[in-house]
């Protein structure tokens, strides 16, 4: 019997994502001026207020107020009527030194013997159902909001959009786990109060979403995914009514509250640890990237059509506790999931320092991860400029989303005899 699966996404202007982006901007600035910085920064945003808290061990000093304001303005909170804007909001910092009790378990005389920054389990997932090896419902949810943000910034075809928005896509699958139609699409977008009545305003927003936004999304999709769109899709556009009050004024935002949006949209599993605001010595972040890197390369190499990989750590301990693999019966080789896990252990060094080196995680690469998902993104190199408190600037070429590289396919094929 066919079944339904749903995933959601939230925009860069969603209050939790505003918090994530501020936290990751702080990470990037610390790493830009001291690549060995140890940082765990949490952000809270609410009406007219930003609160920064966390622990830092670094040789550099930052103007955290300016960094937070720059992020907020870049997202688009630049008007006083939003009741939260980068130029006028208060920014309170309670960032202090990292606990020595934690630091002693991470820093070692030899970098290779660096212990895990915390205990826990992390998961990586990949599937053949999209070109970027991501679950389709989540991938489409992200793309809808990325295109909506482009429309907002163009301010031409749709002129009333505000930064806060959410999307959700429900897909019907066959018995063989193949997506064959899109059943529902939900889009809730913050907007100006442009009247003349609420009913007319909501009708205009729905019309624009269906006839401007969705066609632009479809245009950029591969043909097999385009075919899933049909005239029977049920669109829920701002289903609760008008959405003028939004962002941190409408709902308090916190770092790390969108971990399913950040990963696989409910497919696979999640270990529970957030990513944003954490330097790569925190395995919550680095090991989640490493397991995604492994999963994507395993599926791309043809070992399995779908795979979930778990790795676990103890705080201060160098070697992981173990690696678990689940191919959901989709393996294309005559090996058990346990045997696949054993070969993965031989191919990939999962010590924290080895992960940092393999994926180049000491770069200031994290602000770009903090909205529209950490996984399934494009591996590319960009130039980023950072300004120190003394006014000096530093420009760095940064390779983004290194865990999305398909650079282990040949080694995997050789190891599995493919």
Going by the annotation, the residues of the binding site for L-methionine are 55, 98, 251, 282
Q: Are 236 and 186 in contact (CB under 8 A)?
A: yes
Cis peptide before 187 (omega within 30 of 0): no
* Residue 309 near residue 123 (C-beta atoms within 8 A): yes
Cα distances (Å, whole numbers) of residue 97 to 23, 33, 39, 61, 102: 16, 17, 9, 12, 11
Q: Are 371 and 21 in contact (CB under 8 A)?
A: yes
β-pair partners for 383 = 397
Maximum separation of any 2 CA atoms in the chain, in Å: 68
- Tokens 């910085």: give the residue: 37
* Stretch (H or E) spanning 248: helix 247-250
Would you list which residues are annotated within the binding site for ATP?
A: 14, 164-166, 242-243, 251, 257-258, 274, 278
Alpha-carbon distance of 287 to 359, in angstroms, equals 10
Chain centroid to Cα 189, Å, comes to 20
Q: How far is CA 305 from CA 80, 138, 288, 329, 331, in A?
A: 50, 18, 20, 9, 7
Q: What tokens appear for 75 in the block?
A: 């997202």
**Annotated binding site: which residue ranges?**
14, 16, 42, 55, 98, 164-166, 242-243, 251, 257-258, 274, 278, 282
Binding residues for K(+): 42
From the annotation, which residues make up the binding site for Mg(2+)? Answer: 16
């Amino acid at each position: 019997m066919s079944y339904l699966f749903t995933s959601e996404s939230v925009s860069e202007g969603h209050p939790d994502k505003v918090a994530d982006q501020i936290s990751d901007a702080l990470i990037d600035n610390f790493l830009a001026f001291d690549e060995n910085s140890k940082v765990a920064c949490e952000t809270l945003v609410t009406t007219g207020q930003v609160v920064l808290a966390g622990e830092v061990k670094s040789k550099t000093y930052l103007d955290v107020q300016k960094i937070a304001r720059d992020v907020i303005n870049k997202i688009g909170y630049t008007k006083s009527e939003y009741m939260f804007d980068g130029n006028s909001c208060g920014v309170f910092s309670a960032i202090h030194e990292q606990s020595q009790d934690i630091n002693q378990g991470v820093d070692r005389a030899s970098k290779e013997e660096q212990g895990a920054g915390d205990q826990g389990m992390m998961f990586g997932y990949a599937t053949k159902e999209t070109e970027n090896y991501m679950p389709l419902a989540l991938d489409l949810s992200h793309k809808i909001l990325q295109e909506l943000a482009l429309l907002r910034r163009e301010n031409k075809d749709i002129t009333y959009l505000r930064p806060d928005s959410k999307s959700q896509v429900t897909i019907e699958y066959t018995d063989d786990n193949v997506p064959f139609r899109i059943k529902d699409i939900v889009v809730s977008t913050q907007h100006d109060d442009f009247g003349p009545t609420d009913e007319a305003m909501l009708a205009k927003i729905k019309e624009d979403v269906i006839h401007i936004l969705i066609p632009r999304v479809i245009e950029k999709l591969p043909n097999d995914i385009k075919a899933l769109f049909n005239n029977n899709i049920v669109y829920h556009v701002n289903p609760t009514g008008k959405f003028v009050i939004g962002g941190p004024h409408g709902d308090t935002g916190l770092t790390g509250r969108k971990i399913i949006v950040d990963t696989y949209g409910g497919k696979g599993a999640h270990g529970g640890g957030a990513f944003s605001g954490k330097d790569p010595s925190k395995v919550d972040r680095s090991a989640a990237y490493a397991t995604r890197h492994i999963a994507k390369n395993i599926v791309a190499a043809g070992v399995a059509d779908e795979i979930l990989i778990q790795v676990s750590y103890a705080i201060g301990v160098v070697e992981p506790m173990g690696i678990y693999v689940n191919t959901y019966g989709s393996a294309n080789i005559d090996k058990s999931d346990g045997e696949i896990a054993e070969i993965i252990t031989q191919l990939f060094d999962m010590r924290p320092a080895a992960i940092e080196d393999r994926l180049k995680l000491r770069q200031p690469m994290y602000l770009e991860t903090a909205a529209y998902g950490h996984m399934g993104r494009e591996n590319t190199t960009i130039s980023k400029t950072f300004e120190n408190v003394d006014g000096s600037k530093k420009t760095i070429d940064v390779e983004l989303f290194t865990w999305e590289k398909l650079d282990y396919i040949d080694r995997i094929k050789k190891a599995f005899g493919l």
